Amino acid sequence: MQLNRLLSVALSAVVCLASLSAHSQQCAVVGWASQNGGVTGGGTAAATVVTNYNDFKTAVTSAAVKVVHISGTITFPAGGRISFQDQSGKTIYGLPGSRLVSSDQTKDGSGLLSVKRCSNIIFRNIIFEGPGAYDADGWDNVTLDASTNIWVDHCEFQDGMDGNLDIKNASDYITVTWCKFIYNKTPRPDGPGGSDDHRFSNLFGSSDGATGDRGKLRITMQHCWWAQGCKARMPRVRFGKVHVVNNLFNSTVASQCVMAGFEADLLIESNVFENVASPIDLMDNTFTAITSRNNTFTNTSGNTAGSGTAFTPPYSLTVTPAAQVKGLVTASAGATLTSNSCGGTNPNPDPTTYTLAVTAVPAAGGSITGAGTYDSGTVVTVTAVPASGYTFTGWSGAATGTSSSVSITMNSNKSVTANFQAQDPGGSGTIRIEDNATTAQGLCAYEGSISNNSGASNGRVINLTNSAGKGVDWRVTAPAAGTYTLTWRYVNSSSSNAYTMALIINGATVNSSQSFPRTSGSTVFANATATVSLNAGANTIRLQSVASSATADIDWIEITGNAPSAANCTGTTASTLAMLLPGNTTESRELTGIYPNPTSSNATINVTLGKNEQAAIRIYDAQGRLVENVGIVRSVAGGTQKVVLNLSNRTPGLYYVTVIGNKGLKSNYKLVVK
């Protein structure tokens, strides 16, 4: 018993020492990147904290910025891949929970970062999320091209379109440590490249003919994890001297893991392969040499042996015993760092303090507690206190939601805004209609889509189609005519967006340029307000785009006043159509001016206009939702014009067609599609 106890203690000590040794390796560059002068990145330069795409792109492409800290989720626009070129001495670090996201699956628009002709660069603790694998010869999440002395550490690469991380074009002295490669999204089939499952993670060297790679592509990969979904290329190597050490391969869909391509020189040691096929793929036997030693293979099929004698690394490296690799890698690989400090040895320590700024909008609306300077990691409670005559409506900036008190973790400089709203002196209530409300709950129609946004109150927003005249319609009931306050929570961050919309109440435009000022980020929300007169009974409220560019995404609308309530949009009859459709009157010329009616394909509508008059034609379904905006009909001399409506793709049923002129013409018609 005593001997067993001693052996147990000794074994525990060995595991503990191995863990401590592995932890120490997380704090300094090892392997090939430690050669040729090593990697120091941006050194002790002050960090530039970025929270949105435009600021991130500016910081990355500016040679003057040496340390970049990513805060939160940064979503790339279509075609937003960033070219990071001709720079030296820079660190890009992801604060805890941050990620870079692209959903572009086109050949030319895909990818997140293209790193070209750079040196002495550090990437740490970043989640790179792509749109999913699709074989269209697109871009990888990250590509290292003609770059030297690069350290990629504690990053997670997800769902790259063409691949997760590729290294090519004579790149050299590269180390990739504690990184995770994974595919969470179903691969898209039928790509022009021919593969229906292109979950191919890492390609080192672009082709057998790229002979400029000879003597280059010296790469170390240690403590990395090729997790579920990875199909092949873990990595596939041409020309390079690549050290694959202490890595975990356990994707159950893997058909090839380490792939030895043309003139590859591979040292594969102390790795763990579980439930995979072809752990070491010899491909066409055109490699230079492969040494396989001290690896563990569990429930694998295919080749596990090397061939020839691989290169001897010029650097010293602490190799973790294979028996301890799985536990260490699954616990620490990926964007798992909680601090960019390693006992003072890291060249880019975090700032020790951060500043929290607070703002009240409007300034007279109330006060906010919690502003100040705090140590990194401090959790601060921020409270909004409305002034007399005002109510608190919600947070924007670094805080979200409508609770009067929120907690903020200080891991960067942050600012929060408390939004207040003046109370209606005679009012006695506020209702909110969210973007997931049904037609029975007051959300009648929107011309666009519902999009995900982490900053929204319920994680979603109404994203209107980028075209003039597109809008969103709500319906509310007021118990008595009077003045009401409308409040929208919105986000509107792009510099190319429109910052005004038309506000239409019961068919009449009450403000042709309702302001929705630019917000500072794609997940940073603000409030816009308007004071309007509502009729007793049901009222329609419409926000409508005034330009072909994108405009504000709407989180919710609130109506404050004399006990308003959400009205049911469904069950609308011809007699109530005037209240639902913008620009309508009670005039109804049923079955006249439009023919044939019923129809199964096309219908023609006669529009009679005066001199220099123009009119818009819109088609609504039986629930009052706009299904088509035919466009503007113009007349120079006046008279009757015939406009053909294509209805061949419409679901059979009852529709309403409206004609709204700019000189008083307002007509609507019933139309039956068979």
Mean local confidence (pLDDT), 418-429: 68
Q: Does 30 have pLDDT greater than 80? A: yes
What's the pLDDT at 612?
65
pLDDT tens, position by position, 191-210: 999 999 999 999 999 999 99
Token duo for residue 381: 């409670």
Element (H, E) at 328: helix 322-332
Please state, in angstroms and as integers, the Cα–Cα distance from residue 380 to each residue in 94, 376, 483, 594, 622, following that order: 21, 11, 39, 64, 51
Place of tokens 């990147």: 33
What's the pLDDT at 665?
66
Taking the CB of residue 352, how many other CB atoms lie within 10 A of it?
A: 8
In a domain, 233, yes or no: yes
Q: Does 21 have pLDDT greater than 50? A: no
Q: Which of 375, 374, 366 is nearest to 395 (CA)?
A: 366
Token duo for residue 543: 């926000």
Residue 161's region, left for phi above 0, alpha for psi from -120 to 50, else beta, is: alpha
Element (H, E) at 129: strand 127-129
What's the pLDDT at 589?
28
Radius of gyration of the chain (CA): 31
Say whether both 365 and 318 belong to one domain.
no
In a domain, 46, yes or no: no
Q: Which of 299, 332, 365 is the last residue of a domain?
A: 332
| 448-452/460-464 β-pairing | antiparallel
Task: Give, rounded to a whole angstrom, the gap between the first and last alpha carbons of the chain.
Answer: 88
| Domains contained in the chain, number | 4
d(CA 189, CA 171): 31
Q: Does 408 have pLDDT greater than 70? A: yes
In a domain, 604, yes or no: yes
In a domain, 510, yes or no: yes
Say whether both 150 and 289 belong to one domain.
yes
pLDDT tens, position by position, 219-244: 999 999 999 999 999 999 999 999 99
What's the pLDDT at 4?
43
| 165-168/471-478 β-pairing | unpaired
Token duo for residue 290: 């492969």
Place of tokens 């490699």: 287
pLDDT band at 632 (very low <50, low <70, confident <90, very high): low
In a domain, 644, yes or no: yes
User: HEC profile for 407-453?
Assistant: EEECCCCEEEEEEEEECCCCCCEEEEEECCCCHHHCEEEECEEEEEC
Q: Which of 142, 147, 143 is nearest to 170 (CA)?
A: 147
Q: Which of 222, 238, 305 is nearest to 30 (CA)?
A: 222
What's the pLDDT at 333?
95
Say whether both 562 and 601 belong to one domain.
no
What's the pLDDT at 543?
93
In a domain, 532, yes or no: yes
What's the pLDDT at 260?
97
46-60, 106-120, 240-254, 635-649: least confidently modelled range: 635-649
CATH of the domain at 595: 2.60.40.2550
In a domain, 521, yes or no: yes
Q: Does 586 have pLDDT greater than 50? A: no
Q: Which of 545, 569, 593 is the last residue of a domain?
A: 569
pLDDT tens, position by position, 464-479: 989 888 899 999 988 8
Say whether both 399 and 309 belong to one domain.
no
Strand partners, 142: 113, 165
d(CA 536, CA 564): 10
Q: What is the DSSP letter of 154?
A: S
Say whether both 178 and 292 belong to one domain.
yes
Q: Does 552 have pLDDT greater than 90? A: yes
In a domain, 15, yes or no: no
What's the pLDDT at 140?
97
Say whether both 588 and 469 belong to one domain.
no
Q: Does 614 have pLDDT greater than 80? A: no
d(CA 630, CA 657): 10
Taking the CB of residue 520, how many other CB atoms lie within 10 A of it?
A: 17
Say whether both 375 and 460 belong to one domain.
no
Phi, psi angles (nearest 5°) of residue 144: -100, 120
Element (H, E) at 60: helix 53-61
Q: Does 445 have pLDDT greater than 90? A: no
Say whether both 167 and 268 belong to one domain.
yes
What's the pLDDT at 634?
57
Average pLDDT, the chain: 85
d(CA 424, CA 670): 40
Q: Which of 541, 569, 597 is the last residue of a domain?
A: 569
Helix axes 322-332, 2-25, angle to 10 degrees: 50
Q: Which of 174, 116, 113 is nearest to 145 (CA)?
A: 116
Q: Does 171 have pLDDT greater than 80? A: yes
Mean local confidence (pLDDT), 51-72: 95
* Strand blocks (E) in 147-256: 148-153, 156-158, 165-168, 172-177, 180-182, 203-204, 219-222, 225-226, 236-237, 241-245, 248-249
Query: Please, which residues have CB within 8 angstroms of residue 657's CB and are 6 or more apart in sequence?
Result: 594, 605, 617, 618, 619, 620, 645, 668, 669, 670, 671
Report pTM: 0.54
Phi, psi angles (nearest 5°) of residue 193: -75, -15
Q: Does 398 have pLDDT greater than 50? A: yes
Q: Does 348 have pLDDT greater than 70? A: no
Token duo for residue 260: 């030895």
pLDDT tens, position by position, 93-152: 999 989 999 999 999 999 999 999 999 999 999 999 999 999 999 999 999 999 999 999
Say whether both 649 and 618 belong to one domain.
yes
pLDDT tens, position by position, 434-444: 888 877 788 88
Q: Is the dihedral of CA 84, 125, 399, 484 positive or negative?
A: positive
* Strand blocks (E) in 610-649: 614-621, 626-634, 639-646
Taking the C-alpha atoms of 399, 405, 406 and 411 in order, what is their torsion angle to the nearest 10 degrees? 90
Q: Is the peptide bond before 235 cis (omega within 30 degrees of 0)?
A: yes
What's the pLDDT at 7?
35
HSE value, Cβ hemisphere, 13 Å, CA-based, for 78: 3
Q: Does 345 have pLDDT greater than 60? A: no
Strand partners, 301: 277
Say whether both 445 and 548 belong to one domain.
yes
User: HEC profile for 9-49?
Assistant: HHHHHHHHHHHHHHHHHCCCCCHHHHCCCCCCCCCCCCEEE
d(CA 167, CA 145): 6
pLDDT tens, position by position, 501-543: 999 999 889 999 999 999 988 899 999 999 999 998 889 999 9
320, with CB counted inside 10 A (0-12, 13-18, 19+), is buried
What's the pLDDT at 402?
81
Length of the chain: 674
What's the pLDDT at 375?
72
Place of tokens 């199964």: 600
* Strand blocks (E) in 496-638: 500-505, 508-515, 526-534, 537-545, 553-561, 565-566, 594-595, 602-609, 614-621, 626-634
* Strand blocks (E) in 227-271: 236-237, 241-245, 248-249, 258-260, 265-269
- Cα angle at 322 between 319 and 324, to 5 degrees? 95
| Residue pair 653/621 in contact by the 8 Å Cβ criterion | yes
Q: Does 427 have pLDDT greater than 60? A: no
Say whether both 592 and 561 belong to one domain.
no
Say whether both 196 and 304 belong to one domain.
yes
CATH of the domain at 455: 2.60.120.260
b vs e for 42-59, b when ≥16 Cβ sit within 10 Å of the residue's Cβ? beebebbbbbbbbbbbeb
Look up the domain containing 326 and give its range: 74-332
| Residue pair 240/259 in contact by the 8 Å Cβ criterion | no
Q: Which of 209, 192, 157 is nearest to 178 (CA)?
A: 157
182-191, 395-404, 460-469, 609-618: least confidently modelled range: 609-618
What's the pLDDT at 583?
39
